[in-house]
Amino acid sequence: MEHTKSNQHPAEQTTPLSSPEPGRPRIESSSVLRNSILLFGFHVLTKSLAFVSFILLAKYLGTQMFGVYNYGFALTALFIPLCDLGMDTYLMREVPRLSKEEIPRQLGAVLSWKGLLTFVVFLAISLTGGILDVFGTERFFIVVLAGLITLLRTYWTTFASFFRAIDRVGYETGMLSLARIAEFIVILASISLDAGLLSLLSVWAVVNIVFVSGTHILVRTRFTRPIMVGDFAHMISIFRGGLPFALATIFSAIYFNFDTVLISKYVGDEAAGIYRAAYNLVFPLTMFGLAISGAVFPFASQNYRTQPGEVEEVIRRSVIQLAMISLPIAVATTMFSGEIVQLLFAPEYAESATCLAILVWFLPIVFLANLYGNTLGAIDQQSFVLKVTILSAVFNVGANFVLVPMYAQTGASIVIVLTALLGFVFLFFKMRGTLRAAVPIRALIRISLAGLFILPLLLLRSEIHVVLLLITSVALYFGALLLLRALSLGDLKNILLSLKPRSRF
């Protein structure tokens, strides 16, 4: 088994991978499962709210205005990586290796950078919106408000990184859940009052200001007081440490949002709305995979050198969990894509069914790719992840320019799945060479076979009530997992044991 080599690129030189500093407790492997469950539950709640919200907005706004709404957020999302330049991820990796006395300085430096960068980025978004959509128009103000909301939400990533790094994920999930509930209430009120899109976005911005401020106060009073450092050398070291993560995120943002902008400009807002209807059904589910990979990240960062076997086992279990979750979702959604779109959307969105049947296969691929990419970043292999991300982005942009003009939203759907598959192949083989036991090929084969057990039921879907079909399919799938030994009763017991009460920070 290979370990991270010592001849790192200068931008990757960080706190040595060693045991935790005095005063900093070790993150136990049991914390990974517990935090994964907390984050998973949080995403079930918030993504359910987001799902209902986007269905309501799609019906309320109509295809054209819904396309403009999504265009605004897709355009501003291209600027997200510039808001922290990878320093949030760097913070989550470094804090588990620091003593409690060093944490305020590290957090303060990241928040200082965040304040400066978000101000500059907001000006850039406003200028871009004015150039593309004419200053002062309704479309321009939609872009500006979408940008403000997006930038405020980037502060959540800083606090989320801090909470995960100190193994206190419950605070992250609690505050973010309250914020998302407040946003959902705003949507209901705006639709009920027919307030319009601009009013809705304005109130959303206020909600995010309130909750970001409240979370900052919570961190200062409950955990640590960030020190806004004036040490130029330290600020530059934070910048250099986060840069590889930033570049990877920038290129990821390109291929997650470029397609929507291209469709909107070269095909039309209606086509963009149809594409995003399917897109917004699938992509919120990626957060379930990020729940597990996000819980693994600080554990791997702290323990890779001192407990490599334990890290390998945690990643192996995480891979199995992600595959078990994503595979049946992909199979069932492909089979029922037409019925799902017909149930959730107006007839004008019928073409979204084809996009949905294709896009859903992005899930099992990206679940594992994100886990492997995040783990490699946690053990100081972020330069490799960056190279893979750049290659994927170049492929995505080129393929979209070829396929979108010919096949519109269907072509974009194909491209994004192929892009994820390309990146996964490189990360898969890199992980096999770094943490070989973390790639459980036999277990993945068993899970794939278990997925085949539900195909006969899905093929008979027209003859069975949908509720009975769903219950039977889930029972048959988990029965097959137990039969093929991809899942054991001991695994279920470990999940329950992971929920025991925590000690104080």
Boundary residue ending a domain (439, 457, 472): 439
The pLDDT confidence band at residue 322, using thresholds 50, 70 and 90, is: confident
On whether residue 339 sits in a domain, the answer given is yes
How many angstroms separate the CA atoms of 18 and 468, rounded?
A: 53
In a shared domain, residues 283 and 186 = yes
3 state SS of 3: coil
In a shared domain, residues 124 and 244 = yes
pLDDT at 391 exceeding the cut of 80: yes
In a shared domain, residues 166 and 208 = yes
On whether residue 3 sits in a domain, the answer given is no
On whether residue 114 sits in a domain, the answer given is yes
The pLDDT, as a whole number, for residue 13 is 42
The pLDDT, as a whole number, for residue 16 is 44
How many angstroms separate the CA atoms of 102 and 491, rounded?
A: 37
pLDDT (tens digit, 9 = 90+) per residue, 233-284?
888 888 888 888 888 877 887 777 788 888 887 888 788 888 888 888 888 7
The pLDDT, as a whole number, for residue 360 is 93
Mean per-residue pLDDT for 388-416? 89
Tokens standing for residue 40: 């998973």
How many angstroms separate the CA atoms of 356 and 338, rounded?
A: 9
Q: Which residue has the higher pLDDT, 21 or 346?
A: 346
On whether residue 299 sits in a domain, the answer given is yes
In a shared domain, residues 429 and 482 = no
The pLDDT, as a whole number, for residue 9 is 38
pLDDT at 122 exceeding the cut of 80: yes
Q: Which residue has the tokens 């899942």?
A: 487
The pLDDT, as a whole number, for residue 468 is 74
In a shared domain, residues 126 and 151 = yes
Q: Which residue has the tokens 């997200």?
A: 80
pLDDT at 117 exceeding the cut of 60: yes
Residue 221 burial (10 A CB sphere; 0-12, 13-18, 19+): exposed
Q: What's the sign of the alpha-carbon dihedral 425, 427, 432, 437?
A: negative
The pLDDT, as a whole number, for residue 128 is 85
408: left (phi > 0), else alpha (psi -120 to 50), else beta? left
The pLDDT, as a whole number, for residue 467 is 67
How many angstroms separate the CA atoms of 227 and 191, rounded?
A: 43
The pLDDT, as a whole number, for residue 496 is 52
In a shared domain, residues 433 and 455 = no
Residue percentage of the chain with pLDDT more than 70 = 87
The pLDDT, as a whole number, for residue 458 is 67
Residues 63/270, Cβ–Cβ less than 8 Å:
yes
Tokens standing for residue 109: 């430096």
Tokens standing for residue 450: 């278990």
The pLDDT, as a whole number, for residue 365 is 92
- Give the CA-trace dihedral at 281, 282, 284, 289, to 10 degrees: 150
In a shared domain, residues 473 and 423 = no
How many angstroms separate the CA atoms of 170 and 176, rounded?
A: 10
Number of H helices, E strands in the chain: 18, 0
pLDDT (tens digit, 9 = 90+) per residue, 186-211?
889 888 888 888 888 888 899 999 99
On whether residue 16 sits in a domain, the answer given is no
Boundary residue ending a domain (439, 468, 487): 439
pLDDT at 5 exceeding the cut of 60: no
On whether residue 12 sits in a domain, the answer given is no
pLDDT at 417 exceeding the cut of 90: yes
On whether residue 2 sits in a domain, the answer given is no
In a shared domain, residues 349 and 450 = no
pLDDT (tens digit, 9 = 90+) per residue, 462-503?
666 666 777 777 778 878 787 877 766 666 655 555 445 454
In a shared domain, residues 88 and 220 = yes
Report which secondary-structure segment, H or E, holds 62.
helix 29-77
pLDDT at 69 exceeding the cut of 80: yes
Average pLDDT, the chain: 81
154: left (phi > 0), else alpha (psi -120 to 50), else beta? alpha
Residues 473/446, Cβ–Cβ less than 8 Å:
no
On whether residue 462 sits in a domain, the answer given is yes
pLDDT at 62 exceeding the cut of 90: no
pLDDT at 162 exceeding the cut of 80: yes
Boundary residue ending a domain (417, 439, 461): 439
How many angstroms separate the CA atoms of 385 and 258, rounded?
A: 20
Domain limits at 482? 441-505
Number of domains in the chain: 2
Give the lowest-confidence range in 80-89, 147-156, 424-433.
Answer: 80-89
The pLDDT, as a whole number, for residue 255 is 72
In 3D, which of 118, 203, 101 has the Cα closest to residue 158? 118
The pLDDT confidence band at residue 1, using thresholds 50, 70 and 90, is: very low
In a shared domain, residues 350 and 477 = no
The pLDDT confidence band at residue 311, using thresholds 50, 70 and 90, is: confident
In a shared domain, residues 371 and 458 = no
In a shared domain, residues 182 and 267 = yes
The pLDDT, as a whole number, for residue 443 is 80
